[in-house]
Amino acid sequence: MNDRKYLFIHSARRVSVVKKEEQIEEVFINEAKPINAGDLRPPEEIAHDQKRLYYKEFFKKQFKNFLVLSGAGSSIGIGEGKGGMSMWNLWKHAEETIGKENFDALCKYVDCATDKPNLESLLSLIEGHIKFSPKKNGNEAPKDKNNLPNLEEYKETILGIIRDRCSLAAPRDETKFPHVQFLRKITQRKATLPRIKIFTLNYDLLFEQAANIIGAVVLDGFSFTTPRIFSGRYFDYDIVQREKSRLKDEDNFISRLFHLYKLHGSLNWEKEKDANGNGVDGKIVMNINAAEPLMVYPRESKYENSYEQPFFEMVARFQQNLRLDDSVLVCIGYSFGDKHINAVITEALNQNPGFQLVIVNPGFDGDNEKFQMLLKEAKGSERILMVDETFVDFTHYFPEIQTYYQEPETQPVNLS
């Protein structure tokens, strides 16, 4: 049926629904209607309960290598005072900040379509005009009735909006902070297993703030000195607890430690500068008050930036981890819009039989061409799982620690 939409698909296990005016009217479990005629629950409740049952059972398996890729969808609406925005909302915010009349004139000048808002395309076109415009200085837009400033000013205004809207404060109410709930669950597995690896395309500091709340240790590629300096070798470090009274000469790895790879940079990264304000080649430091954050902004040149440090290191680690056996990558809120990231995932699906892909995204069965391609693949593969779920709900229903491992059962001690 063409009007049927999937909420969950993993091999033969499937949950799909038929909606009318956004209300679920029919539910199909594994391509058949529910057989329990006595179930009086609303169809929507039946559908969501079933999909959650299925993905809870999937995550009961103890994967040796547990990897996460988070995109913009994991930050939307999260934050005290102001929440993260989607790319569409950033476009609207830029339009409001600049003024609709001037914004429309800017889009017309650089030949950017406004019927399908695309901030990445707009920034790329602005940069192209700055670089190749035949006008003096290569960046002056014509002064018409809108009194357009030069394109450099427009570009910096939009980049400033992106930085501002990604400066998110941790919610005071932990129940409204899904990053906290998620980290609590995934970092509780045995410390002897490979560490959890979180790769994020977001610039915000929500994962770092969540780690601070639960007392987790983050290995992020920066030194433990002051200032904190980036070097890929720090991803190869770990932390052990050495007890004076231990009987065995074994390393006792601390719990609640994970690796964090920020593939597109971060609000608190910047190039170190000398006394004259010039950047020091190759030296990247962490600074919570970074004046010029080191970030790969949404534009076509971001693929070129991925070959520079520290981004090259991050992407290389991403590829390296997806090649590991018995690994699962959980993509949360990622729309598969980055070619260089997609290429790594495609390679893993094609070359690594021990790799599984999980996609968590509300409304994945929609108009997104990449999702439709993955949905088609998922129907014939046991290695791709897709679930219609928000990050907030996914963290709530994600299974607790006992689903990763069971403590060995012991007989009660009797000293009598």
Which residues, in sequence order, are CB contacts of 287 under 8 Å at separation 6+?
Answer: 227, 268, 269, 270
Residue 260 falls inside a structural domain: yes
Please name every residue paired with 360 in a beta bridge, in sequence order, or none if there are none: 332, 387
413 located within any domain: no
For residue 26, tell me if it sits in a domain.
yes
Q: What's the confidence (pLDDT) of residue 404?
A: 43
Shared-domain flag, residues 136 and 213: no
Residues 151 and 290 in one domain: no
State the Cα–Cα distance between residues 280 and 259, nearest whole angstrom: 26
Which residue has tokens 């960046």?
139
Q: How far is CA 285 from CA 106, 157, 269, 277, in A?
A: 36, 25, 6, 14
The pTM of the full predicted model, rounded to 2 decimals, is 0.88
**Is position 313 within any domain?**
yes
The verdict on residue 411 lying in a domain is no
Phi and psi, residue 155, nearest 5°? -60, -50
Residues 6+ apart with CB under 8 A from 223: 229, 230, 231, 234
Task: Flag whether 412 is in a domain.
Answer: no
* Host domain of residue 26: 4-51
Low-confidence ranges of the chain (pLDDT < 70): 1-2, 35-37, 133-149, 244-251, 274-281, 300-303, 305, 401-416
Q: Are residues 197 and 127 in the same domain?
A: no
Q: What was the pLDDT predicted at 142?
A: 44
Amino acid 406: pLDDT: 42
Has residue 126 been placed in a domain? yes
Residue 100 sits in the same domain as residue 73 = no
Same domain, 146 and 291: no
Structure tokens given for 235: 């991803």
Contact partners, residue 33, CB within 8 Å, separation at least 6 = 26, 27
Q: Within a 13 Å sphere around the CA of 85, how many CA atoms are in the beta-carbon half?
A: 18
- Report the SS3 class of residue 279: strand
Single out the residue of 360, 406, 391, 297 nearest to residue 60, CA to CA.
406
Pairing of strands 327-332, 257-262: unpaired
Max distance between CA atoms of the chain, in angstroms, equals: 96
Domain shared by 38 and 63, yes or no: no
What's the pLDDT score for residue 33? 76
User: Final residue of a domain: which of 165, 199, 218?
Assistant: 165
Domain boundary among 96, 131, 165: 165
Answer whether residue 414 is part of any domain. no
Angle at 314 between CA 313 and CA 320, to 5 degrees: 85
**Distance between CA 93 and CA 178 in Å, rounded?**
25
pLDDT the model gives residue 279: 58
Is 71 in the same domain as 20?
no
106 and 143 belong to one structural domain? yes
Integer Cα distance of 388 and 6 in angstroms: 8
Residue 38 sits in the same domain as residue 96: no
User: Count of CB atoms within 10 A of residue 114's CB?
Assistant: 13
Assess whether 103 and 145 both reside in one domain.
Answer: yes
Indicate whether 159 and 222 sit together in one domain.
no
CB 157 within 8 A of CB 98: yes
218 and 139: one domain?
no
pLDDT of residue 341: 94
Q: How many helices (H) and strands (E) are present in the chain, helices listed first?
A: 12, 14
DSSP, collapsed to helix, strand or coil, labels residue 20 as strand
Query: 373-398: string of b/e by CB count within 10 Å (b at 16+)?
Result: ebbeebeebebbbbbbbbbbbbbebb
Q: Of 145, 165, 185, which one is at a domain's C-terminal end?
A: 165
Which structure tokens are listed for 359? 């996609």
| Number of domains the chain is built from | 3
Please write the tens of the pLDDT for every residue from 279-326.
566 789 999 988 889 998 887 666 676 778 899 999 999 999 999 999
Round to whole Å and give the CA distance between 321 and 97: 41
